[in-house]
């Protein structure tokens, strides 16, 4: 892997839409490149102009802002594309973290790219990735599920559909719903499912706490402070217990063992069900005598 090569100062290119990540709490997490871009672009498109103004004031950046949120993105995309076509440079920021990640911007980026306009990322904080980096769960593959539904019935349906998901799962949720959410996790995925709560990341009351869903429920009930602020939930993927052999596997092995040597019967059964053949061997020997 090559080391990062480009350093500041950075120059803004006309006709480019910059997707600029901003901090998720600690303002010191903004990059030098993000500050340079925010200071130099012709205009900054943002979710909430007052919110972004505070960020700009903090870094003594004076620049024009333009509101672009979920409700006006479709209209704004035409206007922003026109400015880009005239050679203007534009930055898109959201209230916190990386734009487009459970935040507005997808329609704008798609529109600009379809017109052949340049869209360039200025990477930085993202709550999902920050949480994954401290959760201590497998990250070679994971699934980002965005916000869990706020109503219990819909939430349980979402979770039930993920019962057999083997990858680490990342959710955004409000801590004030944490007890209800964990109760639904216990009901759908089981009380022993391992969960990490990442709350108020990079802020004063940052808390990273992991346990079984059942134990987390007790922990949350005993400390109402854990129900405040912002939260990412990381849920361990479904782990097939090595010696948990389903009835289908047993039935197949029983049929094959009548006709084939145990080694061969195990190999074929393992191939059919995508499991390791050595976990079947003891079972094969016991079935042979039946």
Return residues touching ligand SAM (CB under 6 A). 24-25, 94, 96-98, 101-103, 126-128, 172-173, 198-203, 230-232
Helix axes 152-160, 178-189, angle to 10 degrees: 40
- Please, which residue, 29 or 214, has the CB nearer to ligand SAM? 29
For the bound state, the minimum distance from the C-beta of residue 100 to ligand SAM, rounded and expressed in Å, comes to 7
Residue keyed to tokens 């346990």: 211
- Please, which residue, 34 or 283, has the CB nearer to ligand SAM? 34
- Please, which residue, 38 or 198, has the CB nearer to ligand SAM? 198
Q: Is the peptide bond before 9 cis (omega within 30 degrees of 0)?
A: yes
For the bound state, the minimum distance from the C-beta of residue 126 to ligand SAM, rounded and expressed in Å, comes to 4
- Please, which residue, 94 or 168, has the CB nearer to ligand SAM? 94
Q: Is 150 left (phi over 0), alpha (psi -120 to 50) or beta?
A: alpha
Q: How many residues does the chain have?
A: 290
- Please, which residue, 14 or 146, has the CB nearer to ligand SAM? 146
Q: What gap in Å lies between CA 31 and CA 20, rounded to an integer?
A: 10
Q: Which residue number is nearest to ligand SAM in terms of Cβ?
A: 97
For the bound state, the minimum distance from the C-beta of residue 47 to ligand SAM, rounded and expressed in Å, comes to 9
What letters, b where the CB count within 10 A reaches 16 and e where it falls short, cover 199-220?
A: bbbbeeeebbebebbebbbeeb
For the bound state, the minimum distance from the C-beta of residue 176 to ligand SAM, rounded and expressed in Å, comes to 11
For the bound state, the minimum distance from the C-beta of residue 288 to ligand SAM, rounded and expressed in Å, comes to 54
Give the N- to C-terminal CA distance of the chain in Å, as an integer. Answer: 57
For the bound state, the minimum distance from the C-beta of residue 122 to ligand SAM, rounded and expressed in Å, comes to 13
- Please, which residue, 25 or 262, has the CB nearer to ligand SAM? 25
CA distances from 18 to 59, 111, 115, 124, 187 (A): 19, 14, 15, 13, 43
């Amino acid at each position: 892997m090559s080391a990062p090569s480009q350093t500041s100062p950075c120059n803004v290119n006309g006709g480019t839409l910059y997707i600029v990540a901003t901090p998720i709490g600690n303002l010191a997490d903004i990059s030098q490149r993000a500050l340079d871009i925010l200071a130099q672009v012709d205009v900054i498109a943002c979710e909430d102009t007052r919110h972004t103004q505070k960020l700009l004031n903090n870094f003594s950046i004076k620049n024009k802002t333009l509101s672009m949120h979920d409700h006006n993105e479709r209209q704004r995309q035409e206007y922003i594309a026109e400015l880009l076509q005239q050679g203007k440079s534009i930055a898109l920021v959201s209230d916190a973290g990386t734009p487009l990640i459970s935040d507005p911007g997808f329609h704008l980026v798609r529109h600009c790219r379809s017109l052949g306009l340049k869209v360039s990322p200025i990477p930085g904080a993202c709550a999902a990735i920050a949480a994954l980096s401290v959760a201590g769960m497998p990250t070679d593959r994971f699934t980002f599920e965005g916000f869990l539904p706020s109503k219990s019935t819909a939430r349980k349906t979402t979770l039930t559909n993920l019962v057999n998901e083997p990858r680490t799962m990342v959710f955004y949720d409000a801590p004030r719903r944490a007890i209800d959410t964990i109760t639904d996790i216990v009901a759908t995925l089981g009380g022993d499912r391992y969960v990490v709560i990442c709350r108020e990341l990079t802020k004063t009351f940052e808390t990273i706490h992991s346990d079984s869903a059942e134990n987390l429920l007790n922990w949350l009930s005993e400390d109402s402070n854990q129900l405040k602020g912002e939260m990412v939930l990381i849920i361990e993927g479904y782990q097939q217990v090595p010696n948990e052999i389903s009835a289908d596997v047993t039935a197949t092995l029983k049929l094959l063992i009548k006709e084939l040597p145990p080694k061969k019967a195990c190999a074929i059964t393992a191939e059919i069900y995508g499991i390791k053949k050595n976990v079947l061997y003891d079972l094969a020997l016991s079935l042979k005598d039946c």
